[in-house]
Amino acid sequence: MGKTFDKVGITLISLLLAFLFYFRYTHSLVIALFSALLSIAICVMAVRLIRPREPKHLLSKKNFVRYILLNGNNVLKTLAELSFSERFSLEDAEGHTVIDTNDRILIYYCYKFGSLSEEDVAKSYRLAQKYRCTAIYALTNHLDRRAYAVTEYIPQKFTVINTATLYKYLLKKNLIPERECLARKSGKVGKTIKTALAEGNAKYYIWAGLSTSFLALFTPITTYYIVFAFINLALAIGCLFFSEKGEGKDRLFKE
């Protein structure tokens, strides 16, 4: 969310500066606004073309995060240790990794459905103290700003490695899993229809049908409201039909 806000802010500031620049020389609001919008559009397209694309046969950045969240930090630990094993000696640190270089570095894995919290910083600090580490690298998918304030009170150097940096690094090491490792369930359209025709939705369609039928009596566009009333009636009947048809599919919890 923060990165999206930053991008929107940069775009708006760039648009304003471009508008002021063109208006200074054209003295026309329309021409200046059109030129500014065109310039920003060209810049955005150029950035998209220049930016390297993610390989289609591998997990995308978003699906890589989902893959780690679903399978746990042990998978992330395995990938990270594979990338470091050729250059450094590694030591297990209660589910995390200590790298022995000139300094001892703790790699703290913290991908989860939430943010890197103050408690996570404290845990990494205690592990670093136990294994005599002078630096902590926290691999996380989201950071709580309040947690970052806690890092000012620990002696170790604390560095956050975000998903973009980690993904690029593992991509260079050819360690991003194949796309087939995380396949989305098929039948999205069928699920949408089932959701729309759920038994509990019938009352809403009935209410909408009655409302539009009532409005048809008092407005000149009678046909418009009658058509929508029939559509709502059909959806209400569909809810009842599909709910009765699907009753036998959940026998385990109906007996």
| 146: phi then psi, degrees, rounded to nearest 5 | -65, -30
Task: Please check whether residue 55 lies inside any domain of the structure.
Answer: no
Looking at the structure, tell me whether residues 13 and 73 fall in a common domain: no
Indicate if 155 and 201 belong to the same structural domain: no
pLDDT given for residue 146 in this prediction: 85
Indicate the SS3 state at residue 99.
strand
pLDDT of residue 39: 87
Q: Are 238 and 201 in contact (CB under 8 A)?
A: no
Evaluate if residue 239 carries a pLDDT over 70: yes
* pLDDT exceeds 80 at position 94: yes
Residue 73 and residue 25 share a domain: no
The count of domains in the chain is: 3
246 pLDDT above the threshold of 60: no
CATH of the domain at 173: 3.40.1350.10
69, two tokens? 């969240």
pLDDT digits (tens, 9 = 90+) for 123-138: 999 999 998 999 999 9
Q: What is the mean pLDDT of the chain?
A: 82
Residue 34 has pLDDT above 60, yes or no: yes
Do 9 and 71 share a structural domain?
Answer: no
255 domain-assigned: no
Mean pLDDT, rounded, for 60-74: 89
- Determine, yes or no, domain membership for 123: yes
- Cross-strand partners of 99: 90, 105
The arithmetic mean of pLDDT across residues 10-38, rounded, is 85
DSSP 3-state of 135:
strand
**Does 162 lie in the same domain as 131?**
yes
Q: What are the angstrom distances between the C-alpha of 228 and each of 38, 203, 212?
A: 41, 16, 7
Q: For the chain, give the percent of residues with pLDDT over 90.
A: 10
Q: Give the mean pLDDT of 164-168.
A: 89
Domain interval for residue 155: 62-181
Looking at the structure, do residues 91 and 193 belong to the same domain, yes or no?
A: no
- Asked if 96 and 127 count as a contact pair (C-beta separation under 8 A), the reply is yes
pLDDT at position 251 is 58
Inform me whether the pLDDT recorded for 248 exceeds 60. Answer: no
Where do runs of H (alpha helix) occur along 51-72?
A: 61-71
Both 108 and 198 in one domain: the answer is no
pLDDT of residue 108: 93
Residue 252 lies in a domain: no
Residue 111 belongs to some domain of the structure = yes
Beta strands in the chain (DSSP E): 89-93, 96-100, 104-110, 135-140, 157-161
Is residue 162 domain-shared with residue 194, that is, in the same domain? no
The verdict on residue 227 lying in a domain is: yes
**pLDDT of 196:** 75
What pTM does this model have? 0.61
